[in-house]
């Protein structure tokens, strides 16, 4: 019985410390020249909260949801996605709509960097690389 209690405590500490290390604010670490620079997404940010929720802002889009970690992968599960529609970014019909993928966005965790590789509909590959700037 004592053995099971020790194992449960160790697992609890190991899992919670992993979550504390990843929480914080991340921003794109590529030059901000338009939306893309050499196929890298620029000007994006991601805030990972200790309660496993997140807010992501990029390309006039705001995504909120919850996140989880499995090994070295960060899974972002979208619950609400909206387009930031203003006078400079007019996309008619999107200001009241919600758009979420059924599958989570998957990113690779490497120390203070989180990255992903995505295919566009036209076949081009886009890279997203975010660097941690603050801790939660």
Task: Give percent of the chain above pLDDT 70.
Answer: 62
Q: What is the mean pLDDT of residues 17-22?
A: 65
Token pair recorded at residue 104: 């989570």
Taking CA 71 as the corner, what is the angle to CA 56 and CA 125, rounded to the nearest 5 degrees? 50
pLDDT tens per residue, range 46-79: 999 999 999 998 877 889 999 999 999 999 999 9
User: In this structure, what token pair is assigned to residue 132?
Assistant: 């941690």
Looking at the structure of the chain, the number of domains it has is 1
CA 17 to chain centre: 19
Phi-psi region of 100 (alpha: psi -120 to 50; beta: other; left: phi over 0): beta
Q: 78 with 103: CB under 8 angstroms?
A: no
* pLDDT at residue 82, as a whole number: 80
Task: Give the HSE-up count for residue 40: Cα atoms under 13 Å, Cβ half-sphere.
Answer: 14
Q: How many Å apart are CA 130 and CA 75, to the nearest integer?
A: 15
Tokens of 23: 């929480």
Q: What is the CATH number of the domain that holds 99?
A: 2.40.128
Range of the domain at 54: 2-135
User: How buried is 74 (Cβ within 10 angstroms: 0-12 exposed, 13-18 middle, 19+ buried)?
Assistant: buried
Q: Are 66 and 54 in contact (CB under 8 A)?
A: yes
């Amino acid at each position: 019985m004592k053995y099971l209690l020790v194992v449960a405590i160790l697992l609890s500490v190991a899992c919670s410390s992993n979550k504390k290390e990843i929480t914080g604010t991340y921003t794109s670490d590529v030059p901000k020249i338009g939306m893309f620079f050499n196929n890298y997404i620029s000007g994006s940010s991601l805030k990972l909260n200790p309660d496993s929720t997140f807010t992501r802002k990029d390309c006039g889009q705001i995504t909120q949801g919850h996140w989880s970690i499995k090994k070295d992968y960060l899974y972002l599960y979208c619950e609400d996605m909206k387009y930031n529609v203003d006078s400079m970014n007019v996309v008619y019909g999107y200001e009241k709509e919600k758009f979420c993928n059924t599958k989570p966005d998957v990113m690779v965790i490497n120390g203070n960097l989180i990255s992903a590789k995505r295919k566009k509909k036209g076949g081009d590959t886009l890279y997203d690389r975010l660097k941690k700037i603050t801790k939660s």
